[in-house]
Amino acid sequence: MKTLVIVTHPNIETSTWNKAWVEELKKHGDITVHELYKAYPDQNIDVAKEQQLVEAHDRIIFQFPLFWYNTPAFLKKWFDEVLQYGWAFGPEGTKTAGKQFGAAISTYGTAESYTAAGFNRFTLEEILRPIEASVKYISASYLPHFSVSDSSNASEDRVKQSAVDYVRHITTVKPVQA
C-alpha cells in the first residue's frame, strides 16, 4: 500500500499541528509527503505531475487546516484542476478507480463544538461530505478522517501524541463501507 499525503497549509512555518504532522510523516520512508504550497508557490498546478503522483499511490490523504468549514482554496483548486473528465471520471476516466482517499484536518473548534448541539452545529463527517462525495464520484473508497480539534490547546505532549496517532491512523484505517 503506497500512501501519498497532500498537505495544503499556506503558512506551514508558523503552523503547530500540520507542521508537526509533516515532520512525523517524513520519518516514514514509505509515505510520500507532497506539500502543495512548496511545490507551487505561485499556485500554478502542474496537472500532469499531480495525476502521475496519484496514479503512483494507492492511498491518498488530504491534510489541511479547516478554513471556513472547508478546505483551503488552493486544495479546492487542486480538486477542480486535477480530477479531470477522462482521467478520474467519465467513460475512460478510470485512473482513480479502486484507490482510497481520506482527509486529515486540524480545527480551532473543540470536538464538542462539532456536534449537532454544539456551537458549529455540524459534525466533521458532515463538513467533509463534499470530499466524501467527490471520492465516490471518482470511483474510489473514502476513508474515515483523522482530526485534531481545539488547536489552540497545543501542549507539547498533545501535539506529539497527535502526530503519532495520525501516522497510525493513515497506515491502518479501512475504507468506510458504502
Ligand X SMILES: Cc1cc2nc3c(=O)[nH]c(=O)nc-3n(C[C@H](O)[C@H](O)[C@H](O)COP(=O)(O)O)c2cc1C
CB 142 within 8 A of CB 96: no
Q: Which stretch binds ligand X (CB under 6 A): 13-21, 35-43, 77-85, 168-176?
A: 13-21
Q: Is 37 in the site for ligand X (CB under 6 A)?
A: no
Site for ligand X (CB under 6 A): which residue of 3, 51, 141, 151? 151
Q: Is 18 in the site for ligand X (CB under 6 A)?
A: yes
Rounded Cα gap, residues 8 and 146, in angstroms: 15
Site for ligand X (CB under 6 A): which residue of 67, 74, 79, 122? 67
Q: Looking at the DSSP assignment, which residues form a beta bridge with residue 141?
A: 100
Binding mask 79-118 for ligand X (x = CB under 6 A): ---------------------------xxxx---------
Closer to ligand X by CB, 93 or 109: give it: 109
Number of residues that bind ligand X (CB under 6 A): 15
**Nearest CA among 113, 8, 150, 25 for reference residue 65:** 8
Give the helix ranges, DSSP H, for the chain.
17-25, 36-39, 47-55, 73-82, 124-127, 129-137, 156-172
SS (H, E, C) 63-84: EEECECCECCHHHHHHHHHHCC
Closest separation in Å from C-beta 138 to ligand X: 25
Closest separation in Å from C-beta 81 to ligand X: 21
- Contact residues toward ligand X (CB under 6 A) are 9, 15-18, 65-69, 106-109, 151
